[in-house]
Amino acid sequence: MVVFSFWQRLLIALINLQKKKTGVIAPKRFVQRLKKQNELFRSYMHQDAHEFLNFLLNELVDILEKEDQSAKKEGGTSSPSEKTVNGPKNPQANGVQKEPLVTWVHKNFQGILTNETRCLRCETVTARDEAFFDLSLDIEQNSSITSCLKNFSSTETLNAEDKFFCDKCCSLQEAQKRMKIKKPPHILVIHLKRFKYIEQLGRYKKLSYRVVFPLELKLSNTVEDADSEYSLFAVVVHVGSGPNHGHYVSLVKSHNHWLFFDDENVEMIDESAVQTFFGSAQEYSSNTDHGYILFYESLCANKS
């Protein structure tokens, strides 16, 4: 089984989205380099597409950071625009703080989450920011991406053994916890948790739940921008009844047309065909083709 066709085309598509084109890479060379970098992908065993995405993005960041360090050793310097806004990190040997490099991976995929905890005694709100490349959402039967995002940002009460230590009260207190999207990324990657560990079975089970993902998505739970709008441009689909076997295909929107990629086979499909990958309305169904990873592009960036 080949699971790389989508990612190869995704990288090429992202390069083509940039104002300054830097070229493309042949799929065979990409796979060869991937196998060289990580022995996990040298066999023909089934690999998880989400785990591969995380490996790919983090590996690209490492490579770009090493290239930047090498350039600085040769006398090159980075421009102020290449610095992050999250504050200084990575102290140097002489004690001077150094801000991390912002690569094109960060610019395209990175967003900021805010974890807010409100003490129910003194009402003090403690906020902690963290970066993310993708959002992993729990899913339920006959739901939608919008409802999954609302559940992701729903308020949770911390009490009993889960009480929160409030610095102002200097003691454990009941509190309310909530996760919000503070800074939406340019490319919003949504991973649907279709593989769940069932304790009664002692193994993972694939959830074939019907989850509707719209072609146009509006984020209504962000902190800084309540009108963030996105357009769906790619879907990774898992084909198979279980987590330990199956196949990956992908849907990619190019020049206002939807293309269906299945290894080396490529065909144009109607936009309405995207709905066939929402999932099954019943728990047991002959349909095993389910949307697994969704890629949305910000419409705000296109308008600017």
Q: Tell me the pLDDT tens digit for each residue of 160-197.
A: 999 999 999 999 999 999 999 999 999 999 999 999 98
- Residue 111, pLDDT score: 94
Strands (E), 103-174: 111-119, 125-132, 135-137, 143-144, 156-158, 164-166, 171-173
Determine contact, residues 292/47, Cβ cutoff 8 Å.
no
For range 121-127, the mean pLDDT: 95
Q: What is the pTM of this model?
A: 0.82
Q: How far apart are CA 263 and CA 238, in angstroms?
A: 13
Q: Is the pLDDT of residue 232 over 60?
A: yes
Indicate the domain borders of the chain.
Answer: 26-64+103-110+133-153+185-296
Q: Is the pLDDT of residue 115 over 50?
A: yes
Q: At 67, is the pLDDT very low, low, confident or very high (cuts 50, 70, 90)?
A: confident
**pLDDT at residue 22 in the model:** 60
Average pLDDT, the chain: 83
Closest listed residue to residue 5, CA positions, set 37, 40, 64, 52: 52
| pLDDT over threshold 50, residue 146 | yes
Q: May I ask the CATH architecture of the domain 26-64+103-110+133-153+185-296?
A: Alpha-Beta Complex (3.90)
